[in-house]
């Protein structure tokens, strides 16, 4: 058996130093020895440096692969050159800090990232980001009119600088103050009242036309009075109003089988007001107040 030769990477046998591992190492301190045409070769592009206690760093070109010992844990990390990108892999529950140009795992995970001790310049995310429980979708180059809100959603920006979301059971909406009807002065919101001169107001009290004493359903054939629009107005000008009971006359004991009714019905040319109660002994009265647009 020929013990003075070794197998080269090209599949041929070549002579070597005794034991196949002799000779002087090539390259700078820490250079990994490789077979280069039958001789030892090494360069700064491929070297290994051990700092003791199980810590080591392998440099491959401008990337470095190393191990970091934290107590009984050994964790691998991969870093890039200055200005380059870096990938990393750490164990469960371990934090990652950026020190100078290296990502290093560490415990505990309550370090102040971005401080002078652990500075950073840029952060790169390939996909979406989850920040403090908020899912933030990856931005799109076409979203030039969107901005990121505190709830993690992207919202459109109007020409006025903002767009209020529509309020719902899950979204808090807002109010855009027009500065005329509603104004804000030193943090105080004021709604300017609408002057009554913009309306024609009529009011009064009336007794119902006829009346009946009911024992079952309401009787709409009587127990009502009508209010007509003022001269020059129609029911299409009606802006609002109110009606209320003025007088009710009971006959007998008021108990759990009695009821009172005061109801308005808008007709094409008038407002009909129904006033009625059980056990009536006289015609009831009601109040009305109507507002018509000028």
Q: Is residue 15's pLDDT more than 70?
A: no
Q: Is the per-residue pLDDT at 93 higher than 60?
A: no
Task: Give the CA angle between residues 115, 121, 127 to the nearest 5°.
Answer: 110
The pLDDT of residue 157 is above 60: yes
pTM above 0.95, yes or no: no
Identify the weakest region by mean pLDDT among 108-117, 145-154, 271-280: 108-117
φ/ψ of 207, rounded to 5, equals -95, 145
Residue from 271, 268, 284 nearest 218 by CA: 284
Of the pLDDT bands very low, low, confident and very high (cuts 50, 70, 90), residue 122 is low
pLDDT band for position 63 (cuts 50, 70, 90): low
Phi and psi at residue 37, to the nearest 5°: 55, 40
pLDDT category, 153, cuts 50, 70, 90?
confident
Average pLDDT in the 228-243 region? 95
Q: What is the pLDDT of residue 22?
A: 57
Worst-scoring range by mean pLDDT, 18-22, 196-200, 246-250, 252-256? 18-22
pLDDT at 19: 41
Q: Is residue 106 scored above 90 in pLDDT?
A: no
- pLDDT tens column, 26-57: 778 888 888 888 788 887 777 777 766 656 67
If pLDDT is split at 50, 70 and 90, which confidence band does 263 have? very high
Proportion of the chain above pLDDT 70, given as a percent: 64
Residue with tokens 């040319």: 269
Q: What is the mean pLDDT of the chain?
A: 75
Tens of pLDDT, residues 163-218: 667 777 777 777 667 777 788 888 788 887 766 568 899 999 999 998 888 777 88
Domains and CATH numbers, the chain: 5-106 (no CATH), 126-193 (no CATH), 197-293 (2.60.40)
250/10: higher pLDDT: 250
């Amino acid at each position: 058996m020929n013990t003075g030769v070794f197998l080269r990477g090209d599949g041929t046998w070549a002579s070597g130093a005794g034991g196949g591992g002799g000779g002087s190492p090539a390259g700078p301190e820490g250079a990994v020895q490789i077979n280069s045409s039958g001789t030892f070769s090494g360069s700064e592009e491929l070297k290994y440096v051990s700092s003791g206690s199980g810590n080591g760093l392998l440099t491959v070109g401008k990337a470095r692969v190393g191990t970091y010992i934290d107590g009984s844990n050994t964790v691998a990390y991969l870093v890039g050159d200055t200005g380059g990108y870096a990938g990393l892999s750490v164990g469960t529950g371990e934090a990652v800090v950026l020190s100078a140009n290296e990502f290093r795992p560490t415990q505990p995970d309550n370090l102040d990232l971005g401080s002078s001790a652990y500075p950073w310049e840029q952060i790169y995310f390939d996909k979406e980001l989850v920040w403090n429980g908020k899912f933030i979708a990856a931005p799109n180059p076409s979203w030039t009119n969107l901005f990121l809100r505190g709830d993690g959603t992207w919202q459109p920006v109007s020409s006025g600088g903002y767009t209020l979301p529509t309020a719902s059971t899950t979204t808090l909406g807002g109010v855009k103050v027009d500065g005329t009807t509603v104004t804000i002065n030193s943090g105080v919101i004021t709604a300017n009242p609408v002057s009554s001169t913009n309306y024609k107001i009529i009011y009064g009290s009336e007794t119902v036309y006829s009346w009946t004493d009911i024992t079952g359903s309401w009787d709409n054939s009587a127990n009502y009075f009508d209010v007509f629009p003022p001269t020059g107005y129609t029911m299409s000008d009606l802006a609002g109003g109110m009606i209320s009971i003025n007088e009710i006359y009971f006959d007998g004991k008021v108990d759990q089988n009695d009821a009172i009714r005061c109801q308005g019905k808008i007709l094409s040319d008038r407002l009909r007001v129904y006033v009625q109660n059980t056990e009536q002994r006289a015609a009831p009265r009601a109040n009305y107040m109507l507002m018509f647009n000028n």
